[in-house]
Structure formats: C-alpha cells, structure tokens
C-alpha cells in the first residue's frame, strides 16, 4: 500500500510540475511557454513563433505539437511527454 501511495504521489508530481514551474494552467500551455523560453534564450525573442506563442497562450499550439508527436495519447498527456522529451539545447 505504501508503494502505491508513493507511485501516485510521483505521478501527480510529474503531472503538476510543468504547470507549477511555468506558472500556467495546463500542460499544453507549459509546453508552449517552454518553447518560447528556449527560443528567447537563443536570441530569437522577436521570431514569429515566439510572438505567436505569447499572443495565443491557450495551449492550442502545444496540443498540435503533442498530437503530431504522440497521436494515440490524449493531448494533455502528449503535451507532458513532449515537455519532458525536449532537450535543453533544442531550438
């Protein structure tokens, strides 16, 4: 029983971490914010993608990316998978 509680807590933490870290309401919005942050780190703060992602921060772009990469997963789970799969030097 203890192991089940630990596993549930780890899964809940893994699900909530991107949302809390990026200070947004959902995993797809967290994915978008991570993409924008990675692009601005590389000096692309005025790129079309970063400006678009900033203006449309409701998770639609993140859902599209997750659906392309993981079509069989629900979009929220796919966004989490892409969020954790992005290497730090992507961009």
User: What is each CA distance from 73 to 51, 65, 77, in whole angstroms?
Assistant: 28, 12, 6
pLDDT, tens digit, 9 for 90 and up, residues 6-42:
999 999 999 999 999 988 888 988 888 888 777 666 5
* Residue 91 included in any domain: no
When divided into structural domains, the chain yields a total of 1
Domain that holds residue 57: 2-85
* Residue 62 included in any domain: yes
What does pTM read for this prediction?
A: 0.74
User: What is each CA distance from 5 to 8, 14, 27, 80, in whole angstroms?
Assistant: 5, 14, 23, 21
* Residue 43 included in any domain: yes
* Residue 90 included in any domain: no
Q: Are 56 and 7 in contact (CB under 8 A)?
A: no
Q: What is the pLDDT of residue 54?
A: 61
pLDDT, tens digit, 9 for 90 and up, residues 45-90:
556 666 666 666 678 888 888 899 889 999 899 999 999 886 655 5
* Residue 59 included in any domain: yes
């Amino acid at each position: 029983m203890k192991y089940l509680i630990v596993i549930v807590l780890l899964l809940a933490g893994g699900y909530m971490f991107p949302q809390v870290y990026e200070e947004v309401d959902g995993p797809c919005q967290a994915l978008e914010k991570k993409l924008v942050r990675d692009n601005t780190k590389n000096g692309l703060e005025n790129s079309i993608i970063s400006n678009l992602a900033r203006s449309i921060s409701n998770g639609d772009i993140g859902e599209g990316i997750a659906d392309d990469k993981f079509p069989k997963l629900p979009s929220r789970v796919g966004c989490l998978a892409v969020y954790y799969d992005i290497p730090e030097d992507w961009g």
